[in-house]
Amino acid sequence: MTLYLKYRPQTLEQLDLSEVRDSLTKIVLSGRIPHAFLFSGPKGTGKTSAARIVAKIVNCEKNEKKFNEPCNVCSQCKSVTAGSNIDVIELDAASNRGIDDIRVIRDSVKLSPASGRKKVYIIDEVHMLTTEASNALLKTLEEPPDHAMFILATTNPEKLIDTIKSRTTHIRFKKASINEIVASLLKKAKGEKVKIDKELLKKIAEVSEGSFRDAAKILEQVLSEKVKLTAEAIERFLQKGVGGSLDVLIKHLFEKDARKAIKIIEKEVASGVIVSDYLGKTIDLFHKSLLAKVGIGEDNLPQFSKDEITFLIKLLSDAYAQTPSSFLEQLPFEVAVITWCEGDKNKESEEISSSKDEDETEKNLSGALEEVEVDGLSEANIKEGDLSQVNADIWKQILSLIKPINSSIEALLRAAKPISYDGKVLTLGVYYKFHKERLEEEKHRCILEEVITKVLTSPTRVACILTQPPPRVYVNPVPEVSLTENAGEDIIEVAKKIFEN
């Protein structure tokens, strides 16, 4: 059995976080234990252990008259410790996050406990529940039966809906301090009959990032690999792992060498390093540098600017959030690295591509306008205020000239018609708000005005107003449902044209 499980706290007094220990002890001794707790905090800080202890307290056979610490010898306590108590139900919301999973709880919560006083539902990573599942859980929390109790645990309480948080007693689990981790490791070392200096345990605590579980795993590996319990040997052991490669990774990130940075990540993955841990340590390194750049602590990454650090933290934090659900655990990390290293190239490529598109449009526009034949139009047959002169033929010519230049504009114009022309402004009646807004965008309007100016042989601006589409005329009667269906076909075709472009 691993050290973390072997020496898992079994009473409130054994909890390693002093603030949590004190808060829960006061609540229990008051005799007023709430029906719902929310335990929030970083991984490895004892949330699940505390939840099981509370479950034992409310069901312990010696606590029938007054709540106190669990006895850990009665059948109820022993079965909770062994994970076999049918009245204590543990659910991982990361893998059981749907509404059907919560419906099972809603149905079963009505049933009385099989043998204990309380049915206790421990839901880990509760923030992973879907919106529908969260709302279903909320309903249960609002009207729980007297025999039911909920303990929700999460590493991301900010993602939990406020209405659920408001129904719970919130206990915050902070990252463990160095001294708290050292005290925890000393108990484990004593249990294993191993003499180890506090200063060596402090080194382990410093790289465990406030996690009791991570610290216990490191100590266990030190003992299993029979590393000499000296400062030099422990230092070499710690540098051999993640810490040793971080400096190299940071160097490649500064040089923006994606290939070398990815090779470091792949090497660590192949060696068995947990990607989320490695990524978390990387983020923490940049976080410390960011704080230093605003005057808090010493800056170990002076080569990066504050803006660069901020951008990197955002990229890596997004990757960290995506890691648990990724097909390849390291993929989000690698994508973030590539985005950082090749960001300038991508930006430059986009700018070049955008410039080429604009040049191509300009070229198409120029070429099309040079070839325009205005079919005998002149000031004589385009009279100011004479609406009839901007007729269907002229409109068709405008559409035919626009299409090779920008097919999306032509598609938009098919849901519009000329309303009036005063020699300076051509007013278009547009049938749909979406089409009107797109036509009024500067890049579209400029192309349209240039074409119309050429066709009408006079500088012309375009104004758009919303208007009703013309009624459809059918030769043969058609069922009413057909009219409704056909009316949307043009819109769909126009939309396809717009988004194809």
Reply yes or no on whether the pLDDT at 74 is more than 70: yes
Answer with the residue of higher pLDDT: 201 or 371: 201
Residues 20 and 89 in one domain: yes
pLDDT band for position 178 (cuts 50, 70, 90): very high
Answer with the residue of higher pLDDT: 241 or 114: 114
pLDDT in tens, 36-51: 999 999 989 999 999 9
| pLDDT on residue 370 | 55
Q: What is the mean pLDDT of the chain?
A: 84
Q: How far is residue 195's CA from residue 326's CA, in Å, rounded to a whole number?
A: 42
pLDDT band for position 483 (cuts 50, 70, 90): very low
| pLDDT on residue 488 | 47
Residues 335 and 403 in one domain: no
Residues 192 and 335 in one domain: no
Residues 186 and 168 in one domain: no
pLDDT band for position 464 (cuts 50, 70, 90): very high
| pLDDT on residue 389 | 61
pLDDT band for position 247 (cuts 50, 70, 90): confident
Cα Dmax for the chain: 108
Identify whether 350 is part of a domain.
Answer: no
pLDDT in tens, 356-391: 555 555 556 555 555 544 444 444 344 443 474 678
pLDDT band for position 101 (cuts 50, 70, 90): confident
Reply yes or no on whether the pLDDT at 262 is more than 70: yes
Residues 381 and 485 in one domain: yes
Contacts 24+ apart (CB under 8 A), 238-245: 238/203, 238/204, 238/207, 241/273, 242/268, 242/273, 242/277, 242/278, 242/281, 243/207, 243/281
Q: How far is residue 445's CA from residue 453's CA, in Å, rounded to a whole number?
A: 12
Q: How far is residue 197's CA from residue 186's CA, in Å, rounded to a whole number?
A: 9
Q: How far is residue 283's CA from residue 294's CA, in Å, rounded to a whole number?
A: 17
Identify whether 358 is part of a domain.
Answer: no
Identify whether 242 is part of a domain.
Answer: no
Identify whether 359 is part of a domain.
Answer: no
Sign, CA dihedral 280-284-287-289, equals negative
pLDDT in tens, 406-444: 888 888 898 898 988 888 889 999 988 888 888 888 888
| pLDDT on residue 355 | 53
Residues 93 and 213 in one domain: no
Q: Is 132 exposed, middle or buried (0-12, 13-18, 19+ CB in 10 A)?
A: middle
Residues 113 and 260 in one domain: no
Q: Which of 341, 357, 383 is the last residue of a domain?
A: 341
Residues 146 and 193 in one domain: no
| pLDDT on residue 357 | 53
| pLDDT on residue 186 | 95
Reply yes or no on whether the pLDDT at 66 is more than 60: yes
Q: What is the pTM of this model?
A: 0.57
Reply yes or no on whether the pLDDT at 237 is more than 90: no
pLDDT band for position 345 (cuts 50, 70, 90): low
Reply yes or no on whether the pLDDT at 7 is more than 70: yes
Residues 127 and 196 in one domain: no
| pLDDT on residue 400 | 87
pLDDT in tens, 130-168: 888 999 899 889 888 999 999 999 998 988 999 999 999
Reply yes or no on whether the pLDDT at 62 is more than 70: yes
Residues β-bridged to residue 430 = 416, 466
Q: Give how many domains the chain has, as a whole number.
A: 4
Beta-sheet strands, E only, within 376-455: 416-421, 425-430
pLDDT band for position 489 (cuts 50, 70, 90): very low
Q: Which of 172, 198, 213 is the last residue of a domain?
A: 172
Residues 34 and 54 in one domain: yes
Q: How far is residue 332's CA from residue 337's CA, in Å, rounded to a whole number?
A: 9
| pLDDT on residue 260 | 93
Residues 37 and 165 in one domain: yes
pLDDT band for position 26 (cuts 50, 70, 90): very high
Which residues span the domain enclosing 38?
3-172
Identify whether 63 is part of a domain.
Answer: yes
pLDDT band for position 484 (cuts 50, 70, 90): very low
Residues β-bridged to residue 37 = 151, 169
CATH code assigned at 477: 3.30.300.180
CATH code assigned at 114: 3.40.50.300
Residue type present at position 23: S
Residues 330 and 408 in one domain: no
